[in-house]
A and B are shown apart, each in its own frame.
Chain A
Amino acid sequence: MDIGTFIAQFISGLSVAMLLFLVASGLTLIFGVVNVLNFAHGSFYLLGTYFTYQLMQMFNNFWVGLLVGVIGAGIVGMVIEVLFLRRIYGRDQEGAFQLLMTYAFILIIDDVVKFIWGPEYKTIPKPASLMGSLNLGTTIVPTYNIFIIVVGLLVVLFAWYFLTKTDKGKMVRASSLDRNMLGLLGTNVPLIMTLVFGVATAMGGLAGILAAPLRTVTPGAGVEVIIDSMIVVVIGGFGNFWGALLGALIIGEVLSFGILWMPELATVLTFIVMIIVLIVKPEGLLSKKMVGRK
């Protein structure tokens, strides 16, 4: 393989990874702080796109649409957390009930979206400022893909800063370690969990909206991203933000080069990688805790 091909595949893998990361980051945040495996995360990805679509039908401005979609997804997330998820915290076999409840929400939201907006494919156009592409000599990179990579990196930087450098961030990290203790110390733990949940679902919505100009807006799009994002989270480590980034990069690049070397296996490669990681280091590549093992 010549250097040109290598660069082309590497950059495209990066672009794939960034979108995966944006979806997975919300998922891992929810698990890390609220201890919920949000199987319905894909539905917030979906809701974000539809809210933005609706707004653009009325005002035709991508950026306003983006803002509305992100906030909308966040609000729906918080409502679901307060009204429904809270009721199963602390239950026996909570994990199974989380799975079932979030699965129920996938089913419900998918149909609600179909009912309101219909089953036809919808489009969200790229903002005019981001059309076009950059010619890097041996390969072309669309401007929009660079934009996504930049947004992904900003999200990572912002999250890192917030979670490690600010007091509020430290409280959030503390709640993930010990809900009860923190509550005894006087912190309003339920409020933190709700807010974090809202932020995470907003991020899911953001991922959906950013991806929408590249893909199709259709009911069912949410279910399609959930399995891939769960794989990323597992590889990186549940609750580990950096892990989600690493996991996404691994999957993105493995797929990118796998297409060239093992085209027939491209579709099962992600599961194979996930299985290898779970066997060798089940807590995830970047997690320090020896969780999950006997």
Chain B
Amino acid sequence: MKRKIVALVLVFAVLVPLSAVYGAETIKIGALYTMTGRGGQYGKDSEVAIKMALDEVNAKGLPGGAKLDVIITDDKNPQYAVSVAKRYITDDKCKFLFGIISSAIGLAVTEVSKENKVIFVGSDHAATDLTANKFQKYYFRSSNNTFQSMMAGAYYLKDEVKNWKKIAYIGPDYAYGRDQWMELKWGLDKLGVKYEVVGEYWPKLYEPDYTSYITAIMKASPDILVNGMWGGDTVSFIKQAKPYGLFGKMKYFHVDAGGNYEAMAALGDDMPEGIIMSARHHNNWPDTPANKAYVEKFYKAAGRYPSYAASGAYAGILLIAEAIRKVGNADDTEALIKALEGMKIQLPEDPPGFTSYIDPKTHQIVQVQAIGTTVKNDKFPPAKYMLGNFKIYPADKLWPSFEYIDYMIKVKGK
């Protein structure tokens, strides 16, 4: 009996250290997401999607039996996020930086990525700058930028909306709000559309009360009202504007973040019908098995349907895994960059016949934009309306636009 025990102990004594040497390596990704306040929802959704993606990716397997893992920290503010990003690199030995919802934080962390030569896959923040005038080769983005949304929007306004002349814009008073308007106007000008701006309104971000803006807009009487808000601001604005009859008096146009699912869910029956919106991912389009499966899987994991943020996070993990498979390891950064450039990846948001890919020159993911109008649809409770009547805009028509990038360099500098 004693010998059996000794033997067992010996076996373990040999096997345990051996497994440590030959065991699976864990490749770490350091992610930063807003987990508190208004953006907290997006952080939470991204967290769920990341877990989903990790399960798929690790099940499919990585070179050398390695496993992919993600550390998520709340990013709080740019200074704090930068110190966490640096910690990820020096202490946690992360091979990739990931995520980030706020463009300001993204801009700060991309410097860390550049300085330390660590690949940073952005998954939510949409400031065009990062794949345009502020491009640096270690940065990739797995969700679309605001230019792609607004350029598609310009096409929509040219082709789908008849007899309009007067246009007004309301957006939160910071870079995101201003950039969308700049991009839409540039797009309209490029397409040769003639328009007259009858008002520009700049409420502060998270403004609780839009009443005075709404009455001013009603008086200005534009044909088209463009809105650049996101999240709770969209919900507040629509709720407050509805009793004034705003949606009957003008065409409402909100194509970067208006059609986000969390806004649909929060508005429920209060959502006006027939307004023009889009989002970076739709739960009900394309109506493909892949998208349906993705949405259902998310629902099972989180108990609710996903907002667009999840799709960017999901895509980002898949991209990284694919790159590691191509290169055979996670250490050769230059090879990984080459692998990511031009990489094609089938994502839930791809309509049949199209595969998303990373543009090699700008490292921006190129996807199809779908703009639609709100129709009654209660298949995704608690939302009572979803988008429908989609008009599709092919990816390469929208990006890259080197003409726009040059314009940005002139206006915003490198």
Contact = CB atoms under 8 A, between A and B. Distances in A.
Q: Do chains A and B touch in the complex (CB under 8 A)?
A: yes
Interface of A: 4-5, 8-9, 11-13, 15-16, 19, 110-111, 114, 118-123, 125, 131-133, 139-140, 142-145, 211, 213-216, 218-221, 223-225, 252, 255-256, 259-260, 263-264, 266-267
Given A121-B232, A223-B37, A263-B201, 12 more contacts: A11-B215, A12-B214, A16-B209, A121-B235, A121-B266, A139-B218, A140-B218, A145-B243, A215-B232, A216-B236, A219-B37, A266-B173
A13 to B, nearest CB: 6
Interface in B190-248: 200-204, 206, 208-209, 211-216, 218-219, 231-232, 235-236, 239-240, 243-245
A133 B241 CA distance: 11
A141 to B, nearest CB: 8
Nearest to B304: A120
Nearest to A268: B204
Contact of A123 (B206, B218, B268): B268
A216 B232 contact: yes
Interface SS, B side: helix
Nearest to B204: A267
A133 B240 CA distance: 12
B267 interface: yes
A220 B43 CA distance: 15
Nearest to A224: B206
Interface residues of B, number: 43
B262 interface: yes
A216 B240 CA distance: 11
Contacts of B141: none
Contacts of A118: 44
B216 A9 contact: yes
Nearest to B231: A121
A19 B209 contact: yes
Given A218-B38, A220-B37, A125 B268 contact: yes
B208 A131 contact: no
Contacts of B269: 125
Contacts of A4: 219
A114 B36 contact: yes
A133 B245 contact: yes
B244 A123 contact: no
Contacts of A211: 208
A142 B268 contact: no
B236 A214 contact: yes
Nearest to B266: A121
Nearest to B307: A120
12 contacts: A9-B216, A111-B36, A120-B265, A125-B269, A132-B243, A140-B245, A215-B232, A215-B235, A216-B235, A220-B36, A224-B208, A267-B202
Contacts, number: 130
A125 B262 CA distance: 16
Nearest to A260: B216
A114 to B, nearest CB: 7
Contact of A121 (B173, B244, B265): B265
Nearest to A6: B219
A122 B173 CA distance: 25
A12 B211 contact: yes
A8 B218 contact: yes
Contacts of A12: 211-212, 214-215
B239 A266 contact: no
Interface of B: 35-38, 40-41, 43-44, 173, 200-204, 206, 208-209, 211-216, 218-219, 231-232, 235-236, 239-240, 243-245, 262-263, 265-270, 304
B244 A140 contact: yes
A133 B244 contact: yes
A263 B198 CA distance: 13
B215 A8 contact: yes
B201 A259 contact: yes
Closest 7 CB pairs of A and B: A142-B243, A216-B232, A119-B40, A220-B37, A256-B212, A121-B266, A8-B215
Contacts of A219: 36-37, 40
B303 to A, nearest CB: 9
Contact of B212 (A139, A144, A259): A259
Given A216-B266, A256-B212, A119 B44 contact: yes
Contacts of B35: 119
Contact of A255 (B212, B232, B235): B212
A214 B38 CA distance: 16
Given A119-B40, A259-B213, A5 B219 contact: yes
Most buried by B among A15, A133, A143, A266: A266
Given A140-B244, A267-B202, A123 B262 contact: no
A139 B215 CA distance: 8
B307 to A, nearest CB: 9
Contacts of A213: 239
B168 to A, nearest CB: 11
A285 B108 CA distance: 43
A13 B208 CA distance: 13
B212 A267 contact: no
A119 B268 CA distance: 18
B243 A16 contact: no
B239 A215 contact: yes
Most buried by B among A9, A139, A259: A259
A13 B43 CA distance: 35
Contacts of B214: 12
